[in-house]
Amino acid sequence: MTGRGRRVGACLALAALALTALALAACGKKSPPVAPELRAPQTISDLSGVVEESAITLSWTPPNRRADNTRLRDFTLMRIFRVEDSGTGEPRAAMRVDGRIAGYDEIAAIRGGEPEPAVRRGTHLVLSDRQGLTHGRRYTYVILAGDSLGRISSPSQRVSVTYAVAPGEPESVAAEPRDGAVRVTWYAPTRMLDGSAATEPFTYQVLRGTSEDGELSPITPIRTSERTLTDSGLQNDRAYVYAVRAAREVAGTTVYGRSSARVSATPRDTTPPSPPANLVAIPSEGAVRLSWSPSPESKVTGYIVYRATESGAFERIGSTSAPSTTFVDRAATRGVNRYAVTSQDSAARPNESRRSNEVRVTLP
């Protein structure tokens, strides 16, 4: 090969190396394209359903991430599908075909920023379905979620609900205030919502709120078969509102009845403090000086002093504010005087303790 040929070959080799380097650099800057199904919203996985009075109530958490777990910022639509059957055998499979669920009817479409006809309850959306429901029929629901580019999630888990007659209202609901608690009692419903007699045993859910017209929430997630419940750990001197609803189980579906009329109660501190101790009386010219050991409770705000004659009844003659534990009686009469002291707490309706030990002094 001539000298010129060798120079041309070297230049061609250098050019090939440069092209290879550029290709490698380009590969470092670009990622492989993401499959469309990985950019779709995540599948809704917590769809649930119950019967509430005359409706089927669905609840679920809307997705906020894509199938590849990246943030979903352009979520636009959730579509709810339903199929009805007699309740025998497995519900119809949920297969997505052309953006729909094959064999299901679409009953609602909910946009991400405008949840109507659903409502928000915390992080969940709740939808009440009342469309053409028939007692004894099974209704199966599935949800699809989509983004602004039309990418659609896989079908949610199915939830099947057997629509059945709900119980009527529990009767004679009452709320009794206690110290830091309220005791709620009630009687079982005597009628179902369709007017038929209530013959089966029910479980019950107690609801609580803090205003007469505000939303009520269940006290505990577990229903009770008893017809009494003590709601503990409450704030004294604050009003609480209660209602009770009955529930029954039908073919694996929880059927909630109508809530009772609301009742209210205000817990009160009714526990008196400990009485003062070691009361001592020292007489002097025209006066008696009293002193005592304080009650141990931090809620004690003062002490009340009582005096009586040798055979008479005790009468209140004065008081002191805590932490003072002394009192001078300048109105004592000649002869025998008996004394006792009580403590008083800071409750809205102050509680008074039992009397301390009694002491007797004689003034000449």
Class of 37-162 in CATH = mainly beta
pLDDT value of residue 30: 54
Question: Do 231 and 210 touch, CB atoms closer than 8 A?
Answer: no
Class of 277-363 in CATH = mainly beta
Helix (H) / strand (E) containing 318: strand 315-321
Q: Does 188 or 213 have the greater pLDDT score?
A: 188
Q: Kindly state the DSSP code that residue 71 receives in the 8-state scheme.
A: B
Q: Is the bond leading into 323 cis (omega within 30 degrees of zero)?
A: yes
Q: Residue 121 and residue 99: Cα distance in Å, rounded? A: 28
- Give me the mean pLDDT over the 99-106 stretch: 96
- Give me the mean pLDDT over the 104-129 stretch: 90
pLDDT value of residue 246: 98
Q: Residue 42 and residue 66: Cα distance in Å, rounded? A: 5
Burial of 268 (0-12, 13-18, 19+ CB in 10 A): middle
Q: Taking Cα atoms as reference points, which of 239, 241, 265, 267 lies closest to residue 180?
A: 267
Q: Helix and strand tally (H, E) in the chain?
A: 2, 25
For CA atoms 191, 196, 198, 202, give the dihedral sign: negative
Q: Residue 177 and residue 281: Cα distance in Å, rounded? A: 41
- Give me the mean pLDDT over the 340-352 stretch: 94
Task: For residue 92, count other CB atoms closer than 10 A to its CB.
Answer: 17
Residue 86 in this model has a pLDDT that exceeds 70: yes
Residue 101 half-sphere exposure toward CB, CA atoms < 13 A: 25
- Give me the mean pLDDT over the 219-237 stretch: 94
pLDDT value of residue 18: 42
- Give me the mean pLDDT over the 164-188 stretch: 97
pLDDT value of residue 19: 41
Class of 171-265 in CATH = mainly beta
Residue 197 in this model has a pLDDT that exceeds 50: yes
- Give me the mean pLDDT over the 287-302 stretch: 96
Highest mean pLDDT among 103-112, 210-219, 258-267, 279-288: 258-267
Tokens for 272, please give them: 């008196």
Residue 21 in this model has a pLDDT that exceeds 50: no
- What is the band of 10 on the pLDDT scale with cuts at 50, 70, 90? very low
Q: What is the separation, in whole angstroms, between the first and last Cα of the chain? A: 145
Q: Does 18 or 50 have the greater pLDDT score?
A: 50
pLDDT value of residue 34: 54
pTM here is 0.74
Examine domains 37-162 and 277-363 and report if their fold is the same: yes
pLDDT value of residue 193: 97
- Give me the mean pLDDT over the 167-181 stretch: 97
- How do the domains of the chain map onto residue ranges? 37-162, 171-265, 277-363
pLDDT value of residue 35: 64
Q: What is the pLDDT of residues 38-81, one digit of tens each?
A: 789 999 999 999 999 999 999 999 999 999 999 988 877 999 99
- Sorted by sequence, the CB contacts under 8 Å of residue 332 that are 6+ apart come out as 283, 286, 287, 288, 307, 361, 363
- What is the band of 17 on the pLDDT scale with cuts at 50, 70, 90? very low
pLDDT value of residue 26: 45
Residue 34 half-sphere exposure toward CB, CA atoms < 13 A: 11
pLDDT value of residue 22: 38
